[in-house]
Amino acid sequence: MSEPRDILPEDEIHRGPPMTVSRYGPGKRLNHWITASCLILLALSGLPLFHPTLFFLTRLFGGGQNTRMLHPWIGVVLFFSFFIFFAQLWRANLPVRVDVQWTAQIGDFIGGHEDRLPELGKYNAAQKLIFWGMAFFIVVLIASGLVIWDQYFENVTPIALRRAAILIHSICAVLIILLFILHVYAAFWVRGTLRAMTRGSVTGGWAWRHHRKWLKELAGRGRIDQAK
């Protein structure tokens, strides 16, 4: 019997006590933090290039020239880092029918009445939205960024295209910053979530409350360690 698409190789229930559930392996956690660090560095280096009032941020990178030089290279690292992550998780983030119902009842989620929500797999609709939003914006940012990377592509891109690329790049940069802030806020707001990306596991109670279908699938398929 094939595994459901939202069950990954490292997903496993540990009896404890206390009972915990493995959610992310060391490689995925490292990749996540590299991606997050790149997003922060790109925001700090990109904002001073966006508006002169924020030029003081270039001091963090040793001045304006260093900032202009480092910014696109950090973007390249972000692109490859995120899409290694993307290749591992895209199937688990595909929309399913229950996501529509969850979205319609998002007020219950915000209000803390998750007992009224349908049982979920590894990710809810909001997590999937952030995942696919990040993927979309990163693709657009790397494509538009290459067009305006003067050091390598100034002589092969027409001025009109570069002007359009600057506008698109700026808009998408603002939107991905807002999406990143939403992601960070949700990680702290839903207590116990951040642990998944620091320790790699969540508590059994957290899994039962937020992703009960995923937990039941792990148990039903015998994804339980043999520790006593």
Residue from 113, 183, 210, 211 carrying the catalytic annotation: 183
pTM for the full predicted model: 0.91
> C-alpha distances in angstroms, 105 versus 28, 112, 113?
30, 11, 10
Q: With cut-offs at 50, 70 and 90, classify the pLDDT of residue 2.
A: low
Query: Is residue 227 predicted with pLDDT exceeding 50?
Result: no
Domains and CATH numbers, the chain: 21-216 (1.20.950.20)
156-212: pLDDT as tens digits: 889 999 999 999 999 999 999 999 999 999 999 888 899 999 999 999 999 999 999
The mean per-residue pLDDT over the stretch 149-154 comes to 83
Q: Between the CA of residue 112 and those of 102, 128, 189, what are the distances in Å?
A: 13, 20, 11
> CA nearest 93: which of 175, 224, 179, 214?
214
Is 183 among the residues known to form the active site? yes
5-19, 32-46, 164-178: least confidently modelled range: 5-19
